[in-house]
A and B are shown apart, each in its own frame.
Chain A
Amino acid sequence: MATNAVAVSAPRPLNLGYYARIFRKETQYEFIRMLRTRAFSLSVIGFPVMFYLLFGSSNRHNMFARYLMPSYSCMGVVSACLFGIGMGIALERAQGWLELKQASPMPRFAYLAAKTISCAAFALVIVAALVTLGITLGGVTLTAVEALKLAGVVLTGSIPFTAMGLLVALLVPANAGPGVINLIYLPMSFASGFWMPVNYLPHWLQVITPALPTYHLAQLALNIFGYAQSGSMLIHWEALAGFTLLMLGAAWIIFTRGEAKA
């Protein structure tokens, strides 16, 4: 018997419909799974909403009610991505589930895209909730265009923080995940003006602030409502793009190095 004789019949060509179906189902089930995982969905949606009920509605009709709407939206998307992607992938990796998926014909792109889109969907829910609370309890007036722009910035923001979540998933062991992510995310939120304008922060902190990706996201969202610090918005887009590349590059290096060792 020839050593290379193999049982191969030509596989059915995998067309666009096949990929579209995988992509749709993967995303649909990922979103359902996140929604049903209450520890995730309640905290990711609940925290910005609760914070706004506490601090937004108590500042009714002053600038803070209007300021906190975009800033808490940013907090929402960052936490959805870091916990959803970072914790999600770290857990599935530790449990061997990711390996089963990798052994299956699932395109890797679909796995990542499904998680990213699901987190972005959570971010949109958060924006919708905060805008609704802002209008009703905060006494904020905003145009439909402003609301759409906010949604757009927040959706774009899901990309750099998905990349960061990916890096976290590769670096942090699953059981240390929540602690490490909180350690990254809470100080970053504070120092980037998610909770109060940056110029209220201690001076030494204001020096560090421009180095944080969360700051640049916050500036883009705040700019829609006229609360950004002066200067061109282009630099913030550039900073986020650079940060995304940095995170993806680092994740890629770690992933391929791990694969070579495996």
Chain B
Amino acid sequence: MRRQIEGSQAVAAAVALCRPEVISAYPISPQTHIVEGLSDLVRTGELAPCEYLMVESEFAALSAAIGASAAGARAYTATASQGLLYMAEALYNASGLGLPIVMTVANRAIGAPINIWNDHSDSMSQRDSGWLQLYAETNQEALDLHIQAFKLAEEVSLPVMVCMDGFILTHAFESVDIPTQDQVDAYLPRFEPRQVLDPADPVSIGAMVGPEAFTEVKYLMHAAQMQALDVIPEVSAEFAQAFGRNSGGLIRPYRSADAETIVVALGSVLGTIEDVVDELREQGMKVGAVGIKTFRPYPLEEVREALGHARRIVVLEKAFAVGLGGIVGQNVRLALSGLPAPVYDVVAGLGGRPITKQSLHTLLDDVLNDRLEPGRLTFLDIDWNLVGRELQRTREKRRSGPHAENILRDIGVVAAGPN
């Protein structure tokens, strides 16, 4: 049924259709509307049997999901930003134990400075936690990916993060098609755990493993992720067959087959990028885009195949490795190793800064006219004047004060003081 609803409500509906048996969550913007929606569904009995645990932290939220999943229940949680970091230890534990938990990450910046708006620094920081990472471009895709995520997680027995841009998707009202319970039931089989805490057949889960077997256990995690590279396209194809639309998969090329310049990105910004691609195509420029839908496992071969022919590649990403450069950029370079095409790392949209078509046109104009240096990190729409003033202050005065407050004062966001 097609409904005009908020992205969070669409995700709550999708999760409920997957019949989770335990939901545990702790509130953090911009994830709140998802778990509030689920709380309503559990309280009214529309989602039953399901236990909803309102826990005291994100660490507890994922820990309760770990216990529930190990007890054989389909378990779900959601978080963002600081919450994801607070879960970090449990993230590695869930993946290390091979528990197929599904979690929404409503992507949000990480402080300091504290910021509630969207970027990808939260999920990118946990890219090596052993969780599969799927990135939604639209609210419809966010909804669809959750249904696929349970199937995928349970098939490979690894946890899955469905990443959707905070506010941009979670709080946006769009028309989405919500499948019926029968459709989802037909697509998603009952959860049959590989391991379960059962008094009839007692097992120890989470025993200590020393050097004699640690490598092997870790290799098996890696092998399961590699297996997911095959399972993800299958799950996506089955979804297309059952629901009549394409969602998810490993990568999604857009007018890139003959493109000389390809923009690579993850998440909702792909919509804006595709509009810019269309406009540049109208001007006769051979520009395309490639969306990475699955960042972990990383589809190395598919990325190489999709980008290998391009003359230049622009990686637009909403996070970066401080002290080094682009994260997605590094991964793209790895896929392209041995090929001559330059890769431009562009950091954009940090802490919710809008990525506009105009900025992307300017960026691509710079790229096409060799005004950018490949291999050097570019910060889209950065205000060098503000940066310069603050650097000047730090040179002039030992106790120059906190960066964030100084810059806010410069732009007049806080009351001007004598500094």
- Judge: A and B partners, yes or no: no
B residues at A contact (CB < 8 Å) = none
